[in-house]
Structures are given as structure tokens and as C-alpha cells.
Structure 1
């Protein structure tokens, strides 16, 4: 798991991402540096490994059973470039868990860093 401060070549411009980038540099520089080290490690040393680093902006949702059941079935998950037309700024814990389970054995996202969020639309 990474943050949206990790940039990818296919990302679109987002004011929200710019704000996160600036705030992380100012107030969480160690976390910011760690995210970029994580990204570099997988890109430079990850050949031959099955890896996916998903990037998140914000995670919402409660941890009780009723909330998980409701949130798991509410809306689809967007996975792709950050700032794309259907990308939003958050995802629920239950949606994230569902996406991980559904994609754990899929090779679609191997060696990539998709931005995940609740699908807009």
C-alpha cells in the first residue's frame, strides 16, 4: 500500500494530489520519503516478483460487521491512473478489502501501482 504521493507516468493532473504532495512534504516528510523509497525499491528490484502497490488517498468506513457488509456492496472500485475521469479521493475499508480479495490471484495489476478509489459514476 502506498499513497497518492507516488507518481506514475500515466497519472492525470489533480489539485487534490498536489495538495497531498505539499502537505506530506511539509508535515510528514519521513512518510513521504518512505513512500518514494518503496516505489523505487519495487521498480528497481522487483523484477521477477509478483507485486502490486496500490495507491490510496483516503480510507473511510467503520469496522463493525454491519458497516462492512453495507460498504462492501456499495459502489464499484476504480483502479487505474490517478485523476482519471472516474477516480475519487476515497475508498471504504470494505471496498478495499473486496478489491484485494478479488484481485489477489489476477495478473492484471502485477508490477503496477494503480490508484484505488470508489468509482465515480
Structure 2
């Protein structure tokens, strides 16, 4: 399978790349700075260099792929509480979804957080508290993640998208990953990076695809 990973130099994306390579998939990574890729990984993947606003480079990366996994999202000091919202990531996804349609690539899985709600969710006091803290200390990132979910709903027509929602991300072991909705019996508030990567690779391997145009919540159990 030809797989494009967005965010492949990040803490979650690195695990996705490693997991996909272990499963013998042909992996392409779209990165701004290729030097961030470990040499042992760089030699095994196809590297397309570009920024998230570079439509030409992005189109080159998307062309010919069977599926896309994105762990991109707002983080870091640029998204402190009182920075100005500019819709950077929602705008990127609008561009990406259009490029996917042009290149006839249908499948994508993209990350967001639990502040994006679904009608099938049940109430979770713990996750509600975490969301309130996230809004208080990172309200611009909170809004970006929320708008990512809305962007897929409005711009993702004709594509097999899945926006997966996560709570607290940890460096724990892979374990078992439960997918469903917030408040489901057996779910937790955490997801390990290894578990997330394993779940994502399984999803792109699954045919017919699951969770199409849905927003499952995934957690380690």
C-alpha cells in the first residue's frame, strides 16, 4: 500500500511511520525539514519537502497514494492562550481535501481532540474537565482543533475521511485500543502513541474502510 504520512517528524507521526514501514507499506512523508527524519528512517521512505501552504508540493505528495494519515495539529508556543486565531490548520485541510479530489485519492485519517463533539457521545466529566483546561490555557489551539472537525464535515464530500478524536496522549505501551464514542464502557481518557499508530495502520489496511465520514474516539484500555 502507498501511504502518505503528514506530521511524520512529530512525536505521534514518527510512530506511524515506523509502524507502516514494519508492515511493509510504501511510505511517503511530507515534511518542511527533512533533516528531522532519523537517517535510518529517511533511507526507507520517499521524502517530499514543502510547507503546508505549498499546493504544488502537496499535490506531488498526494499523487498516487492509497491513503493518507495526518497527525498534524496546533501545538507549541505559537498556540499559547492569547495568540491570534488565523485558521491555519482548517485552511490547510481545505486545501488538502481539494487536492485529494483532484488526485482521486479518497482515504484519509486525521487527528483532532475531544472538544469536537458527536451526537453519539455520552458525558464524560473527566474529558469535559480536560477540555475546559485546554480552552483556558490554549484556546486558540482548542478552536483550531474544533474547526478541523467542521472542515471535514463541510469540505470532505465524496471522500472516505475519518477524523479520530483523542484525549491525553502518552508514551505508554501499545496495549489495546478501543474505538467508539466518548463515554463508551471500557474507554479511558488516554491513548498511547504506539497504540494510536497501530490503530491507524490497521484502519488504512481495512477494506472496506471503517468509520467513513465519522469521528470515533480512540483510547487505550
- Is 1:103 the equivalent of 2:203? yes
- Matches of 2:150 and 2:136 in 1, distance apart? 21
- Matches of 1:85 and 1:101 in 2, distance apart? 24
- Matches of 2:118 and 2:137 in 1, distance apart? 23
- Matches of 1:25 and 1:89 in 2, distance apart? 17
Match of 2:132 among 4, 19, 22: 22
Partner of 1:77: 177
Q: TM-score, normalised by structure 1?
A: 0.83
Shift of 1:88: 0.3
Partner of 1:58: 168
Partner of 1:117: 219
Gaps of 5+ in 2: 1-110
Shift of 1:21: 2.2
- Is 1:47 the equivalent of 2:149? no
Using CA pairs below 8 Å that are at least 6 residues apart, which structure has the higher relative contact order? 1
Instruction: Write 1 or 2 for the structure with the bigger share of strand.
Output: 2
Number of aligned positions between the proteins: 109
Gaps of 5+ in 1: 63-70
- Larger-Rg structure: 2
Q: TM-score, normalised by structure 2?
A: 0.47
RMSD: 1.3
